[in-house]
Chain A
Amino acid sequence: NAGVMQNPRHLVRRRGQEARLRCSPMKGHSHVYWYRQLPEEGLKFMVYLQKENIIDESGMPKERFSAEFPKEGPSILRIQQVVRGDSAAYFCASSPGLAGVYNEQFFGPGTRLTVL
């Protein structure tokens, strides 16, 4: 069973360009989370999605950032008009579609975004 997959692993963009980060959850997982890790900081929650639904986007900036998890295909985190402050590692995690406390999240290797 393959783990959580993210691509690309490294992404370089110039200011004003768009960045698209992809996440394929583990097989059988229907819950996806996106986190951002700034240099020398812990991970900060951005958004939580289930198939075709955004459940909690309280950690995502109101402008330029969007996320989706379509019925088919990977989850996408999209950053429009990137700025240097967007440079960070973006991690995706997934968990099984189980309610309750046994909500161990499995993390992908991350996408390191560098904005020039």
Chain B
Amino acid sequence: AQSVAQPEDQVNVAEGNPLTVKCTYSVSGNPYLFWYVQYPNRGLQFLLKYITGDNLVKGSYGFEAEFNKSQTSFHLKKPSALVSDSALYFCAVRPRNSNQAGTALIFGKGTTLSVSS
């Protein structure tokens, strides 16, 4: 079965320190990869996506993610965390071999990021 794993339920970092939120996937082929962020009582906001090309993808709010094909990973990173980055982060994939436009996303369970001042 196709799945997305976020091995850490929670990540704690101090403001100003680098952060990493891990994501690995088990999907046939080379899927499209996404990161979303969810603030309390809000919907998901798109952060970034990997389609093809450079393995390092830059997104909103200073976030970036690195695609590693051999490790089937797509870890989210930020060089310097802010308290306002504290939220729930979801990794998601969409199978590349789908023949339908608009096929749904497969989400991980989410990782809560807590940035302390």
Give the B-binding residues of A (Cβ under 8 A): 4, 6, 31, 33, 35, 40-45, 48, 50, 55-56, 59, 91, 93, 95, 97-110
**What are the nearest 7 A-B pairs in CB distance?**
A99-B101, A45-B104, A42-B107, A107-B43, A107-B44, A42-B109, A31-B102
Q: Would B107 and A110 count as touching, CB distance under 8 A?
A: no
- Other 9 A-B pairs with CB < 8 A, given A48-B104, A56-B100, A106-B46: A42-B107, A43-B107, A44-B107, A56-B103, A93-B44, A101-B32, A101-B96, A103-B101, A110-B42
Cβ–Cβ < 8 Å partners of A91 in chain B: 43-44
A103 to B103, CA, bound (A): 8
Cβ–Cβ < 8 Å partners of B110 in chain A: 41-42
* B34-54 residues at the A interface, CB under 8 angstroms: 34, 36, 41-46, 49, 51
B105 CB within 8 Å of chain A: yes
Cβ–Cβ < 8 Å partners of B36 in chain A: 107
Nearest CB to that of A31 among chain B residues? B102
Task: Pick 9 A–B contacts, CB within 8 A, sort by A.
Answer: A31-B101, A42-B110, A44-B107, A45-B105, A91-B44, A99-B101, A104-B49, A108-B43, A110-B43
* B13-48 residues at the A interface, CB under 8 angstroms: 32, 34, 36, 41-46
Known contacts A42-B108, A43-B107; is A95 also within 8 Å of B102 by CB?
yes
A110 to B106, CA, bound (A): 18
Nearest CB of chain B from residue A68's CB, rounded to whole Å: 17
Cβ–Cβ < 8 Å partners of B107 in chain A: 35, 42-44
Q: Would B106 and A104 count as touching, CB distance under 8 A?
A: no
B58 CB within 8 Å of chain A: no
Q: Would A107 and B45 count as touching, CB distance under 8 A?
A: yes
A59 to B43, CA, bound (A): 20
B94 CB within 8 Å of chain A: yes
Q: Would B45 and A55 count as touching, CB distance under 8 A?
A: no
B85-117 near A? 1/0 per residue, CB < 8 Å: 000001000101000111111111110000000
Give the most central of B45, B102, B104: most A CB within 10 Å: B102
Q: Would A103 and B102 count as touching, CB distance under 8 A?
A: yes
Q: Would A4 and B43 count as touching, CB distance under 8 A?
A: yes
Nearest CB of chain B from residue A84's CB, rounded to whole Å: 21
